[in-house]
Amino acid sequence: MKILIVDDDINFSKQFSIEISNFFYTYESDVSISIFNTGFFDLNCKEQYHYAFIDINLKGANGIDISNVLKEHNPTCNIVFISAKSNLIHSSLTVQPFFFIRKTHYEHDLNIFFNLVKKSIVNKTMIQLAYKSKKVTIKITDITYIESHQHILYVHTLNYSYEDNRSLKEISNLLPEKFFCQIHRSFFVNLYYVHSYSRGEILLYTNGSEYTKLIISRSFQKLFENKYQEYLLL
């Protein structure tokens, strides 16, 4: 798991990184934390961070602007703002952050954040894929879309594509209905990765700033639109 901390308060960053690493090591064996206290414009926003903790009021930089660039390259990154100014919470909503930690209520907000992450980790159920003699277990939430082609199932994630012996209908029965939707007789998509759609096609986030365009068949168009609207209300 890759974690980013952007804060011009060096002492706070050090202490915060210890608490964050101690928490995530409970669930992940490999945790890497990058800290930026200066040189904010040297930050590589194309790095695939899982969580980014960003102060909004930085010396010579704006945390919301940095977060927008991060999201452009890595839309699945969980942005968590940290600020001593609670009045900036509403301004931060333009980035759709995972959470906002107020330094004035640090312990209270940090505990809420930890509880939210615990719930999200518990909900990340796994699925086992099998093709011929090869088996692999992946997180369902990592699936961007599933494609059926010439009697082979291709399960696409942000980083890899896997093959599976089952039919699209068989594997769709194993996926959470409120997060996945069929858009074509050959495609099943994860609604979380939808960037945009129009009549007849859909754009999915698939790798950093890259997108994958898929066809929405006429028979599935209404179903997709209804399910996506329901998903946005979750």
211 three-state secondary structure = strand
Q: By the 8 A CB rule, do 220 and 183 touch?
A: yes
Residues 6+ apart with CB under 8 A from 86: 102, 104, 105
pLDDT given at position 75: 82
Tell me the pairing of strands 99-102 and 78-83. Answer: parallel
Record the pTM: 0.56
pLDDT given at position 164: 96
Structural domains of the chain ordered from first start? 2-122 (3.40.50.2300), 126-232 (2.40.50.1020)
Q: By the 8 A CB rule, do 163 and 138 touch?
A: no
Whole-number Å distance between alpha carbons of 224 and 14:
46
- Mean pLDDT over the full length of the chain: 90
Longest CA span, the chain: 58
pLDDT given at position 209: 65
One-letter amino acid for residue 71 of the chain? K
Per-residue pLDDT tens over the stretch 123-172: 567 888 999 888 898 889 889 999 999 989 999 998 899 999 999 999 99
Q: Is the pLDDT of residue 208 over 70?
A: no
pLDDT given at position 176: 85
Helices vs strands, H then E, count in the chain: 6, 17
**Tokens 């928490």 label which residue?**
23
One-letter amino acid for residue 52 of the chain? A
Q: What is the DSSP annotation of 23-86?
A: HHTTT-S--EEEEESS-GGG--TTS--SEEEEESEETTEEHHHHHHHHHHH-TT-EEEEEES-G
Q: How many CB atoms lie within 10 A of CB 7?
A: 24
Per-residue pLDDT tens over the stretch 15-37: 999 999 999 887 777 889 999 99
